[in-house]
């Protein structure tokens, strides 16, 4: 019996062009053309109270961001806001004063004319101010929203191994490329990074390993979640994602900034789409979900053929909303160690340094297996701590003592099937076997 599994194919008209508008923060002048889904929470004033920490955060991430310039821009914008508010208040007060004087118009004619003249001056000033206000507002707020998340205290200066399974001696052996191994065993039909087919035991591997991890997650108290494969630009921006790193479906409207993106059901985006502008009770926390499905992302087609460079990947994504991250992270490290240890392949868990984190991440735990061909560890999964960065931007809240608060989000790809398969094939090659793990095989029809 030969089982065919289409591993990687995208049948959509997509666009990778650069995006200039923002769907996350829509200014008043654009509100008539574009629906503003929400207004994210912006606490830049609190960040500037610890300006040294903010600068250190940017420096450790090796980002080219001028914090002093952003602060100056923000202060200027606050001054403009205050001036606009004062003009609107003055105009309102003049209107009330004129209304009172009109009760005895004949006696107050001269004073009424003076106030009307003052009102026209205020109106002109307000009109001139509004012509540039929205442009200043948009450029300032988007700069602030582009700032990275606060780094977690456990984020190291250099990559730090927190767990390493037995079998690290495998790293001293060199293997054939996993693509060549898979083709020689008739496990795949590889055309390009966007079209790769798993066959025979390659397809069995995908079904088995997904079933294995599904059972592990359910036994650990997680709830399986069904997600959409698409999200809107506001969700992508809210999660700190880049439009240049996503598939954007072309639409007829050139003015709509809230486009549709193909992201995959097993990513953080559809989870956050579900919880955007969503409020829950504190007693419901923590929420522990996972999703089995696809992850889509553009890749460099000029790189050599590899399972490490595919535009569609079968993955397992975890999503946790909680009050306390550290305890949950410790629990996840223990669970992952048990999940992967049981498979019988060498792996390690590492904490990545700040310069390898995405802007939305405060801490990243990387699950790595060794590639005997490229002679280095490859990330086959990860867990990211986001603090309340995502929930503040997309207004995911919980109620506590009649006040609105924001849960902390933990998300990540606990399993990336193609990357794991590539490492497994190379590990088996140096061991002199082509057989898949018995642990994996027994979960085929579970």
Do 305 and 337 sit in the same domain of this protein?
yes
Does 18 map to a domain?
no
Q: Are 183 and 378 in contact (CB under 8 A)?
A: no
Provide, for the chain, the percentages of residues in helix, strand and coil under a 3-state DSSP scheme, each rounded to the nearest 5.
45, 20, 35
Which of 128-137, 139-148, 290-299, 313-322 is predicted least confidently? 128-137
What mean pLDDT do residues 157-177 have?
91
- Crossing angle for the helix pair 417-431 and 200-219, nearest 10 degrees? 120
Does 16 map to a domain?
no
Does 31 map to a domain?
no
Do 213 and 256 sit in the same domain of this protein?
yes
Do 251 and 368 sit in the same domain of this protein?
yes
CB atoms within 10 A of CB 383: 23
Give the rounded percent of residues in the chain with a pLDDT score beyond 90: 60
Does 115 map to a domain?
yes
Do 103 and 199 sit in the same domain of this protein?
no
**Nearest Cα residue to 214 out of 417, 410, 367:** 417
pLDDT at res. 253: 62
Q: Regarding beta strands 403-405 and 287-296, do their DSSP bridges make them parallel or antiparallel, or are they unpaired? A: unpaired
pLDDT at res. 19: 44
Domain of 217? 160-441
Does 32 map to a domain?
no
Do 252 and 390 sit in the same domain of this protein?
yes
Do 395 and 308 sit in the same domain of this protein?
yes
- Both tokens assigned to 229: 């494969």
Q: Are 249 and 261 in contact (CB under 8 A)?
A: yes
pTM of the predicted model as reported, rounded to 2 decimal places: 0.90
Do 71 and 182 sit in the same domain of this protein?
no
Do 108 and 213 sit in the same domain of this protein?
no
Do 223 and 78 sit in the same domain of this protein?
no
- Crossing angle for the helix pair 200-219 and 325-341, nearest 10 degrees? 140
pLDDT at res. 272: 97
- Total number of domains in the chain: 2
**Nearest Cα residue to 260 out of 40, 9, 6, 15:** 15
- Both tokens assigned to 308: 């490490």
CATH code at position 133: 1.10.287.40
Do 140 and 175 sit in the same domain of this protein?
no
pLDDT tens string 191-243 = 999 899 999 888 989 999 999 999 999 999 999 999 999 999 999 999 998 88
Is residue 20 over pLDDT 90? no
pLDDT tens string 141-154 = 999 999 999 999 99
What mean pLDDT do residues 303-318 have?
94
pLDDT tens string 87-126 = 888 888 888 888 888 777 666 778 878 888 888 888 888 8
Does 141 map to a domain?
yes
What mean pLDDT do residues 383-394 have?
97
Is residue 27 over pLDDT 70? yes
Among the three residues 117, 145, 173, which one is the final residue of a domain in this structure?
A: 145
Is residue 439 over pLDDT 70? no
pLDDT tens string 358-384 = 999 999 999 999 999 999 999 999 999
Among the three residues 145, 175, 197, which one is the final residue of a domain in this structure?
A: 145
pLDDT tens string 232-278 = 999 999 999 888 778 988 765 666 788 899 999 999 999 999 999 99
Does 47 map to a domain?
yes
CATH code at position 327: 3.30.930.10
What mean pLDDT do residues 176-183 have?
94
Q: What is the mean pLDDT of the chain?
A: 88
Among the three residues 145, 170, 199, which one is the final residue of a domain in this structure?
A: 145
Do 275 and 408 sit in the same domain of this protein?
yes
pLDDT at res. 251: 65
Do 227 and 101 sit in the same domain of this protein?
no
- Whole-angstrom Cα distance, residue 188 to residue 282? 48
pLDDT tens string 60-91 = 999 999 999 999 999 999 999 999 899 888 88
Give the E-state strand segments of 84-207 in sequence order.
160-164, 188-192, 195-199
């Amino acid at each position: 019996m030969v089982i065919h599994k289409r591993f990687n194919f995208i049948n959509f008209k997509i666009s990778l062009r650069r995006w200039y508008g923002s769907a996350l923060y829509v200014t008043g002048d654009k509100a008539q053309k574009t629906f503003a889904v929400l207004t994210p929470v912006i606490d830049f004033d609190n960040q500037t109270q610890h300006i040294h920490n903010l600068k250190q955060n940017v420096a450790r991430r090796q980002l080219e961001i001028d914090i002093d310039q952003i602060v100056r821009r923000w202060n200027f914008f606050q001054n403009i806001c205050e001036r606009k508010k004062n003009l609107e208040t003055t105009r309102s007060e003049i209107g009330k004063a004129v209304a009172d004087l009109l009760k005895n118009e004949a006696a107050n004619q001269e004073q009424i004319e003076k106030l009307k003249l003052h009102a026209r001056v205020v109106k002109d000033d307000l009109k001139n101010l509004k012509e540039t206000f929205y442009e200043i507002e948009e450029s300032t707020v988007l700069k602030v929203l582009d700032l990275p998340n606060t780094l977690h205290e456990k984020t190291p200066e250099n990559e730090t191994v927190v767990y390493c399974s037995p079998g690290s001696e495998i790293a001293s052996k060199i293997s054939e490329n996993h693509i060549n191994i898979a083709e020689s065993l008739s496990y795949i039909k590889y055309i390009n990074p966007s079209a790769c087919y798993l066959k025979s035991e390659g397809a069995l591997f995908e079904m088995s390993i997904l079933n294995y991890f599904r059972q592990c997650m359910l036994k650990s108290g997680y709830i399986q979640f069904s997600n959409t494969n698409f999200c809107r630009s506001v969700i992508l921006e809210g999660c700190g994602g880049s439009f240049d790193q996503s598939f954007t479906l072309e639409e007829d409207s050139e003015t709509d900034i809230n486009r549709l993106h193909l992201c995959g059901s097993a990513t953080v985006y559809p989870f956050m789409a579900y919880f955007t502008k969503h409020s829950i009770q504190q007693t419901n926390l923590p929420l522990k979900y996972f999703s089995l499905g696809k992850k889509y992302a553009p890749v460099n087609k000029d790189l050599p053929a590899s399972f490490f460079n595919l535009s569609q990947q079968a993955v397992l994504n975890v999503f946790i909303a909680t009050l306390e991250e550290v305890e949950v992270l410790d629990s996840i490290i223990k669970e992952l160690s048990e999940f992967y240890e049981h498979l019988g392949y060498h792996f390690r868990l590492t904490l990545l340094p700040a310069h390898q984190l995405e802007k939305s991440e405060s801490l990243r735990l990387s699950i790595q297996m060794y590639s005997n061909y490229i002679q280095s560890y490859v990330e086959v999964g990860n867990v990211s701590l986001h603090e309340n960065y995502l929930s503040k931007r997309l207004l995911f809240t919980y109620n506590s003592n009649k006040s609105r608060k924001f849960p902390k989000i933990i998300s990540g790809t606990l399993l990336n099937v193609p990357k794991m398969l590539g490492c497994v094939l190379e590990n088996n090659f140096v061991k002199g076997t082509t057989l898949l793990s018995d642990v994996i095989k027994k979960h085929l029809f579970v």
